[in-house]
Amino acid sequence: MADRYLHFTGTPPGRFLTRRLGLPRPAPLRRFGPAATDLGGPVILRTAGRSALDGPLPLDEPLTPDGTAGTEAETPRPAAVVLDATGVAGVADLAAVHSALHPLMRSLAPGGRIVVVGARPSADDHHQAAAQQALEGFTRSLAKETGGGRTANLVRLTSPDPAAAASTLRFLLSPKSAYVSGQVLELTGTAPAAAADPARPLAGRTALVTGAARGIGAAVAEVLARDGARVICLDVPGAGADLERTAGALDGTALPLDITTGDAADRIVAALPGGELDILVHNAGITRDRRLANMSADRWSQVLDVNLAAVLDTTDALLKRGAVRRGGSVVATASIAGIAGNTGQTNYAASKAGVIGLVRSLAPRAAAAHGVTVNAVAPGFIETRMTAAVPLLIREAGRRMNSLAQGGLPVDVAEATAYLADPASGAVNGQVLRVCGQSLLGA
């Protein structure tokens, strides 16, 4: 369903009324496409004090010649600012964060990006830990005040090797991250694999997407195919027509299957080329909303079975069989409901919080034993058939209660999933990436 308020605020009367009444003023987001492959402007790199990295940050975007913004007549408005704050080790060092970014805030272009690169808070140096944790509060607050479709995110490095940040910086400094803001990603020191073709980083890889017939799952399958993957689209037999349509449009394979059946893993392996895959995306999910006082045992178990038990069982079975190749990835779909909770969704929130627990526990062990990363995306309010059926006032509240003051699109979740599935993102493991426009609910 179209966001008529977003359209109205872009008209002269809309701009006037929202300004006078203090209403939310969402800015149209620049998303990735043939006409928007980058942010359309230069990137400024600043350092807060002394960098703790062994080399320069891997930035693909054009930097301004001297690292400063200049005047609008001399230099285009910067599309992004990257701040290397890895050397911040005490309260006094935080002054350098202010002095590096303060002069640039008014010149950052609409839809621009701010990426702060920090270090993991130390377990041995509480002064460094305090200063690095301060960067999280700083970045989340900055993301809420920038406006104009701009975003701000924090990337934490666990080693002085900056190469681990390449894929993450590429994602955050592109239109693909339009609906990701106020987030913290912690990267390991794992050396990433370089893609032979950066435009098709998933070429030669096989992906399985559950719940792929429509909505977010179909968008995920489409983006993975765009990036070069051979996609197997799985959904319940009852969604067969939509499933065939989605898979056919992508030259993929349709796999009608109830993921909760006892032989689901066997049938998945049988459908895989050579019995193996590289990318496993758990997107299938259902809701059966009721307040707990009115919720039957069937409504509870149906949601937990599909949204959590099937994810656990299928992942365990495929990893045990070695069906996910080394260098592969598992990406599960959580939800901000699993982080912040939601009235009438104790079952759904429990299942999605369970997905987060799965990711955090399994990720280090899967990496060590199988060479596979495990991450999750946690969507906020996404414009789908399901949210279109929500009552008007609740739907409008869902759209506006985030820093970007609008709902996201299925492609926003798909782009985040593709980033986590990229072999160059091998340093990203055990992370839960919220795709919610920095929802005001939860952390």
Same domain, 34 and 168: yes
Does pLDDT of 408 surpass 50? yes
What distance in Å separates the CA atoms of residue 222 and residue 427, rounded to the nearest whole number?
24
Mention every residue, 6+ apart, whose C-beta is less than 8 A from residue 47.
83, 84, 85, 87, 100
The verdict on 264 and 370 lying in the same domain is yes
Residue corresponding to tokens 């377990």: 123
Please check the confidence at residue 193 and state whether its pLDDT lies above 80.
no
pTM for this prediction: 0.94
Note whether residue 160 is domain-resident.
yes
Q: Which two tokens stand for residue 61?
A: 């975007």
Task: Look at residue 72 in the predicted model and tell me its pLDDT.
Answer: 41
- Residue 174, pLDDT above cutoff 60: yes
Reported as a pLDDT band with limits 50, 70 and 90, residue 1 is low
Q: pLDDT band for position 443 (50/70/90)?
A: low
> Which of 187, 220, 248 delimits the end of a domain?
187
Provide mean pLDDT across the span 293-319: 97
Reply yes or no on whether the pLDDT at 9 is more than 90: no
- Out of 5, 179, 348, 419, the active site residue is 348
Is residue 251 a part of any domain in this protein?
A: yes
Q: What is the CATH number of the domain that holds 42?
A: 3.40.50.720
Question: 416 and 340 share a domain?
Answer: yes
Q: Is residue 51 part of a domain?
A: yes
pLDDT at 197: 87
**pLDDT (0 to 100) of residue 401:** 92
Residue 17 has pLDDT above 90, yes or no: no
Would the pLDDT of 69 be above 60? Answer: no
Mean pLDDT along residues 395-405: 90
Looking at residues 339-366, what average pLDDT do you find? 96
Q: Which of 134, 154, 187 is the last residue of a domain?
A: 187
217 and 140 within one domain: no
Query: Is 348 one of the catalytic residues?
Result: yes
Share of the chain above pLDDT 90, in %: 83
Q: Residue 15: its pLDDT value, please?
A: 87
Q: Judge whether 32 and 175 are in contact, CB under 8 Å.
A: yes
Return mean pLDDT, the chain.
Answer: 93
Q: Is residue 199 part of a domain?
A: no
Q: Which of 187, 214, 241 is the last residue of a domain?
A: 187
| Residue 79, helix vs strand vs coil | coil
Does 440 fall in a domain?
A: no
- Mean pLDDT within 36-64: 90
Work out the average pLDDT over 20-41. 91
CA distance 24 to 4: 13
Q: Would residue 116 count as lying in a domain?
A: yes
CA distance 15 to 310: 47
Contacts (Cβ under 8 Å, ≥6 apart) of 335:
348, 349, 352, 378, 379
244 in the same domain as 149: no
Are residue 216 and residue 149 in the same domain, yes or no? no
DSSP codes joined into one string, 169-202: HHHHTSGGGTT--S-EEEE-SPPPPPPSSTTSTT
For residues 173 and 39, state if they share a domain. Answer: yes
Judged against a pLDDT cut of 80, whether residue 388 lies above it is answered with no
Confidence of residue 65 (pLDDT cuts 50, 70, 90): low
- Per the structure, the complete domain to which residue 396 belongs is given by 206-435
Average pLDDT of the residues in 213-230: 98
Say yes or no to pLDDT of 70 above 50. Answer: no
**Residue 441 placed within a domain:** no
* Structural domain total, the chain: 2
Decide which of 205 and 199 is more confident.
205
44 and 126 belong to one structural domain: yes
